[in-house]
Amino acid sequence: MSKEIGITVKKNENFSEWYTQVVLKAQLADYAPVKGLIVLRPYGYSIWESLKSSLDQKLKTSGHESAFLPVLIPESLLRKEASHFAGFTPEVFWVTHSGDTEIGDRLALRPTSETLAYSMYSKWIKSWRDLPLKINFWNTALRAEIKSTKPFLRTSEFLWQEGHTVHTTKDEAEEEVMTILDIYKKTIEEELAIPVITGKKSEKEKFVGAVYTTTMEAIMPDGKALQMGTSHFLGQNFSKPFDVKFLDEQNVETFAWQTSWGVSWRLIGALIMVHGDDKGLVLPPRVAPIQVVIVPIYYSASDKEVVLNKATQIKDILEKKNLRIKIDARDEFTPGYKFHDWEMKGVPLRIEIGPKDLAKGKMVLVRRDDLKKIDLTFDINMEAGIINVLNEIQKTLFENAKILLKERTKKVTDFEEFKKELEKGMFLYSPWCGDQKCEETIKESTGADIRVIPFDGKSTNSPCIICKKPSQLEVIFARGY
């Protein structure tokens, strides 16, 4: 493979350029004509489809329904919850004209749909019998990014899902917030093989309009944190301005309790960063568009026929096991070229079959994660053997990501040490008094945020890392995407 086609920089030498090359060269996405927007190409979209299907199934099983909201929200409606509006307004795209006609109440492209959803919910909900209402929307959100954009991580339009639920009691709503966070964690860890730390956001970092925000944070190989998804307890902050109320069992009119939550294609960005290597993408089998690629090797026409027949046989057998499999029979490329091509695209497992292998009644499996070769004989255990290797790859990727997290996590109680460690790119568990001033001091002097106040955070006797006042909990600081 020529230099130009393959990845030309090393992951640990120029992480940002490596990332961009992988996105573009593995044909996951491409830049759209409008700055800050990307097109998701079929290979990338297929990963999104896998993720979506896995999450959608879990949401449906837990009693959520899907629906559709339009992308246009009148400015007057968006303004109804003041802090929410103030939070989003700098990045809202505004529609001012249709054809040549100016629109009076200009229209926002949805930065998120709380306001629109709840104006509808207010019409639909009459009594406790209509609750809980648990609806999820697969759509996009639009937020004009003025800072430098990056595919999947920071784009002005992004694919996501946003869930919006309504409950009769505070407890039930808070339980929903946690149910969703658990579904997210399970999906991300099992499908994407990325470990996450769950907990709450600080007051400063919570969703504008929420009572509190729960979050999942993961560490990337450059030591920066990535927010993987959030689940918000909205309390009655939106039900009051949007009039989302119900008659309870005693016929008393009551404001409802609400939640909202979302994950986006940012998860594809995490996938690339966490598992990829110098050769390109490395995909966990569960979300790989192609799980197994067969590269037939032959130099004569007679060999070609025999080898391709065998490849087709293997493909048919594996497809019956619902594996996603492809034979690369392109005549214009050498086997070596194909190996590099599929390695760059991150296909978890490659099968090589040539006349010599056939003579020995075997094929060669090559794992994408560690590039190790395994001989496998053609027998009735073949499918089980391949499925087993795929499961091993999924497991190994998750284990490696857990090692990354461990290596990049440290407990620090001293601010000088904090600054030194932060430069290395770390999740820093540090004691914090709970005062937003100390949080801001750290942000201003180091660029680090409180990423998450972990649910499993340990109580500590150490004083706050900034003001030295007593603190009860360790929180995680890091620089983030």
**Closer by beta carbon to its own copies, 36 or else 454:** 36
Site for its own copies in 27-46 (CB under 8 A): 30, 32-34, 37-42, 44-46
**Closer by beta carbon to its own copies, 40 or else 197:** 40
Here the tokens at position 63 are 């009693």
Here the tokens at position 139 are 């759509």
Burial (0-12, 13-18, 19+ Cβ within 10 Å), 260? buried
Q: Which of 6, 17, 21, 48 binds its own copies (CB under 8 A)?
A: 48
The region of 97-105, 406-414, 415-423, 440-448 touching its own copies under the rule CB under 8 A is 97-105
Q: Which of 448, 402, 401, 403 is nearest to 429 (CA)?
A: 448
Q: Cα–Cα distance between 462 and 385 in angstroms, integer?
A: 52
Q: Which of 8, 12, 14, 66 binds its own copies (CB under 8 A)?
A: 66
CB 291 within 8 Å of CB 325:
yes
The answer to whether residue 69 forms part of the interface with its own copies (CB under 8 A) is yes
For residue 175, the minimal CB distance to its own copies (Å) is 21
The answer to whether residue 129 forms part of the interface with its own copies (CB under 8 A) is yes
Say which amino acid occupies 90. P
Say which amino acid occupies 178. M
The region of 122-130, 194-202, 301-309, 456-464 touching its own copies under the rule CB under 8 A is 122-130
For residue 74, the minimal CB distance to its own copies (Å) is 5
For residue 83, the minimal CB distance to its own copies (Å) is 17
Write the DSSP assignment of 183-197 as a string of letters: HHHHHHHHHS----E
- Find all residues with CB under 8 Å of 411, minimum gap 6, and list them: 428, 429, 430, 474
Q: Which of 20, 21, 140, 396 binds its own copies (CB under 8 A)?
A: 140
The region of 138-146, 178-186, 269-277, 434-442 touching its own copies under the rule CB under 8 A is 138-146
The answer to whether residue 96 forms part of the interface with its own copies (CB under 8 A) is yes
Cβ count within 10 A of residue 281: 26
Q: Cα–Cα distance between 164 and 207 in angstroms, integer?
A: 14
3 state SS of 19: helix
Site for its own copies in 319-378 (CB under 8 A): 330, 332
CB 292 within 8 Å of CB 351:
yes
Strand 133-142 vs strand 65-66: parallel, antiparallel, or unpaired?
parallel
Q: Which of 12, 82, 83, 124 binds its own copies (CB under 8 A)?
A: 124
The region of 137-145, 239-247, 273-281, 299-307 touching its own copies under the rule CB under 8 A is 137-145
The region of 153-161, 190-198, 319-327, 384-392 touching its own copies under the rule CB under 8 A is 153-161
Cβ count within 10 A of residue 335: 14
**Closer by beta carbon to its own copies, 155 or else 214:** 155
Q: Which of 100, 379, 444, 456 binds its own copies (CB under 8 A)?
A: 100
For residue 256, the minimal CB distance to its own copies (Å) is 17
For residue 340, the minimal CB distance to its own copies (Å) is 17
The answer to whether residue 67 forms part of the interface with its own copies (CB under 8 A) is yes
Backbone torsion region of residue 305, taken as left when φ is above 0, otherwise alpha when ψ lies between -120 and 50, otherwise beta:
alpha
CB 176 within 8 Å of CB 132:
yes
Prior bond of 132 cis (ω within 30°): yes
Q: How many residues bind its own copies (CB under 8 A)?
A: 57
Q: Cα–Cα distance between 84 and 240 in angstroms, integer?
A: 14
Q: Cα–Cα distance between 16 and 272 in angstroms, integer?
A: 12
Phi, psi of 95 (to 5 degrees): -90, 125
**Closer by beta carbon to its own copies, 347 or else 365:** 347
For residue 102, the minimal CB distance to its own copies (Å) is 10
Contacts with its own copies, residue ranges (CB under 8 A) = 30, 32-34, 37-42, 44-46, 48-49, 65-74, 77, 89-101, 107, 109, 116, 119-120, 123-124, 129, 135, 140, 142, 144, 146, 156-157, 159, 330, 332
